[in-house]
Amino acid sequence: MLVLAIETSCDETALAIVRYDRGNSGSIGPIEVIAERVSSQVPVHQQYGGVVPEIAAREHLRVLPVLLDEVLDEAGLSLQELSGIAVTQGPGLKGALLMGFSFAKGLASAIGLPLIGVNHLEGHLLSPLIRGSALRFPFLGLIVSGGHTELIEVAAPGTYRLVCRTTDDAAGEAFDKAAALLGFPYPGGAALSRAAERAAGGRHSLPRVMLERPGLSFSGLKTAVALLVRKEFDPTDQQGVSELAHAVETAIVEVLVRKTLEARKERGLPMVAVAGGVAANRALRAQLARAVGEPGATLFFAEKEYCSDNAVMIALVGAWRLAEGERLGPRASVYSRWPLEEMVPPTRTTW
């Protein structure tokens, strides 16, 4: 089947056309990516130091038809040749979600195509399966993105049990807020990480919040960085910036690795899969590999190009759910909040 996928939950407008062959196993993925586009709004929001929801929605509306023409052109397909449309239904910014959702709904009803709504987090969680992988269910999923950080027991496709999630800032948010304090433009996570790699050593030690207690939190880290910056920070001292960046990265990575190890042991899950924007972080990848095991054997990562927001991960989940016979009803709308543990597997869906 040929599926068009649309993602507009935050500040990336992304479209993809993929081919999925369900085969006999009924498993998720692999999918063949025929065409894809990601248009980032980062330059638009950077001047405000974060995503402005109103502007994000308007940008999605402006870019969606352009990207649709481009992916159809590249795939050499017309809309009529598609088998279905998958669109991010939540969680995310309501106005941003509504742009992609209404666009997809309009297309589907005009052409008479089946439509499926996809949970953005389910897209991230299963993104290590995009190109096919030795990853098997059940596994422990670690989603580390700008908006969400959570450990999920993935019992089977569509059956998710929450292990823990951050009570405040997500890991990406913690990276970005610390990066802003150090003077990096939004979103500064990747830049902070590059600076951390240049550090000669670590002078600072930052708090590892909740390391000895259940749960996940990063807000104490931001406060500690803010205090340090106020006390003794010189933005022109490159080495000083790198050392502080190194301390931030070390603290975030250590908490993520420890919590992942604990969850894996507690739930008795042999495999771990890591996804979301922060999964691109090199220190996190290296430390997890050291703690959990060989990448590709017991430890799996989303490919770097599919760590950050994209439509291919939406296509992966959408194609599988469409093939299972799931469809969106005519009165469906978006959910700004949509926890993974509240999802139902497609075979149990009623509409």
What character string, x for contact with ligand KG4 (CB under 6 A) and - otherwise, covers 92-111? --------------------
**Looking at beta carbons only, is 29 or 276 nearer to Zn ion?**
276
CB of 190 to ligand KG4, least distance (A): 4
Give Cα 162 distance to the centre of its chain: 16
Cβ-proximal residues to 168 (8 Å cutoff; 6+ apart), any chain: 217, 218, 219
CB of 145 to Zn ion, least distance (A): 4
What character string, x for contact with ligand KG4 (CB under 6 A) and - otherwise, covers 136-175? ---------xxx------------------------x--x
Helices (H) and strands (E) in the chain, counts: 10, 10
Segment 20-39, which members bind Zn ion (CB under 5 A)? none
Segment 245-274, which members bind ligand KG4 (CB under 6 A)? none
CB of 182 to ligand KG4, least distance (A): 13
What character string, x for contact with Zn ion (CB under 5 A) and - otherwise, covers 137-176? --------x-------------------------------
Residues in the chain: 351
Dihedral over Cα of 231, 235, 241, 247: its sign: positive
**3-state DSSP percent of the chain in helix, strand and coil, to 5:** 45, 20, 35
Binding-site size, ligand KG4 (CB under 6 A): 18
Which of 191, 309, 317, 321: binder of Zn ion (CB under 5 A)? 309
What character string, x for contact with ligand KG4 (CB under 6 A) and - otherwise, covers 35-74? ----------------------------------------
**Looking at beta carbons only, is 152 or 225 nearer to Zn ion?**
152
Dihedral over Cα of 87, 315, 85, 80: its sign: positive
Which of 189, 253, 260, 306: binder of ligand KG4 (CB under 6 A)? 189
**DSSP reduced 3-state for 228:** helix
d(CA 217, CA 30): 34
Give residue number: closest CB to ligand KG4: 277
d(CA 291, CA 160): 24
**DSSP reduced 3-state for 140:** strand
Q: Select from ligand KG4, Zn ion, none the partner in contact with residue 175, using the beta carbon and a kind-dependent cut-off of 5 to 8 Å.
A: ligand KG4
Q: Locate tokens 């081919």: which residue?
A: 19
Nearest alpha carbon to residue 17 among 68, 65, 60, 66 = 68
Q: What is the chain's Cα-based Rg? A: 20
Strand partners, 3: 18, 84
Which of 84, 128, 187, 346: binder of ligand KG4 (CB under 6 A)? 187
Q: Select from Zn ion, ligand KG4, none the partner in contact with residue 334, using the beta carbon and a kind-dependent cut-off of 5 to 8 Å.
A: none
Q: Is residue 259 within 8 Å of 287, Cβ to Cβ?
A: no
The residues that touch Zn ion, with contacts defined as CB under 5 A, are 145, 309
The residues that touch ligand KG4, with contacts defined as CB under 6 A, are 10, 145-147, 172, 175-176, 187, 189-190, 193, 276-278, 280-281, 308-309
